[in-house]
Amino acid sequence: MGTHGNLIIGQSGGATAVINASLVGAVEAALQDTRVGQIYGMWHGIQGLLQDEITDLRAQPAQLWSEIKRTPSAALGSCRYKLKEHDLERIIETFRRYEIRALLYIGGNDSADTVHRIAQAARAANYALQAISVPKTIDNDLPLTDHCPGYGSAARFIAMATMDSTMNTLSMPWHYPVKIIETMGRDAGWLTAAAALGKRDERDAPHVLLLPEKTFHPDRYLAQVEEAYRRYGYAVVVAAETVRDEHGQALGAVGQVGVDAFQHPLLSGAAQYLVELVKERLKLRARFDKPGDLQRMASFCVSEVDREEAYLVGQAGVQAALAGETDKMVTLQRQDEPHYHCTTTLAELSEVANVQRLLPEDFLDEQNSMVTDAFLNYARPLIGEPLPVYPRLERTKVTL
């Protein structure tokens, strides 16, 4: 990126509780460097860019950025838009018109693919452009990075939601003794696994995890639920919305409501299916909780570690562009000494785009229904402050 080159920033995909921290990290890094000319923002990502919906971020009040950093969702607006071939020529023409020499795009797998394609198009057009992908996804499934900003806060939410919803079940376990909690996560079980972060002994929920990496078998599921119910008087199951049967069919396909721009199924119905199976086969009352968008952007469950790392990758994205890097994604590299923290490096987008990192085998027990200490040790630093411990009254019966 040459001196006084202009920078443009966009946000893409499902918004999170900390995606704005990455935006602020990038803007503040750019504001502090005299090599950056104009700082533009695209409204609603690439989709807005194609419609010339561009804003001047330098014109924003300086004090606004510290407030935006702590605001959930995408301040610039987001999109799910898959580039068409004719879009690329139009994007490069727009960059020429605005003299944009650096692109930062904050998003997940599909966004990485978008940046990769734009970088290739710029190279083919002999247009000097530094195109950097800044990671973000609660799915935590980007390769070559220890974890993804957004995951730590979503993981904290799911862990606490599981703990709190279980407390309600415990208050009247005979009323609805079986509870299903459905999480997001597409094809990777990282978020579902996070439900176990508050589990301290075998009595605690969750009792069963249903992960998209593992084939769903109805009889096995029912046996696990029944065993937990007989042992503890209730059973809590946390299931990914994309759990699939032996035919590769998502359990939620019965409620599928189409696909997004990248042809990912828009599913609903996994939790309902699991509840109906319990009611029909085990004759137990069951219900489900579906946190939906709350798990992605609940501001009251933000991990401060997550927020600061989101800010860090935004800063690193600008620094990479100023150093002349292109067609790269910022990655987080874990350092455990003298205490947990992360540094940043870069990865080739050709090795990131459209690649998913699934939950490793050693993060699951032999039954593939609960996490191991390896997962807990991995995830606990990401969720910030320790989770609360809920005490239990001793059942001391009074006899006269």
- The set of catalytic residues is 139
| Phi, psi dihedrals of residue 172, rounded to the nearest 5° | -145, 70
Quote helix, strand, coil % in the chain, to nearest 5: 40, 20, 40
b/e sequence 351-366, b meaning 16+ C-beta within 10 Å:
ebbeeebebeeebbee
Please name every residue paired with 105 in a beta bridge, in sequence order, or none if there are none.
Answer: 10, 133
191 close to 383: Cβ distance less than 8 angstroms: no
Q: What is the DSSP string of 65-118?
A: HHHHTT--S-TT-----PPPHHHHHHHHHHHHHHTEEEEEEEESHHHHHHHHHH
178-183 and 5-11 strand pairing: unpaired
Residues 322 and 5: their CA atoms lie apart, in Å, by: 9
Question: Chain-centre distance of CA 26, in angstroms?
Answer: 20
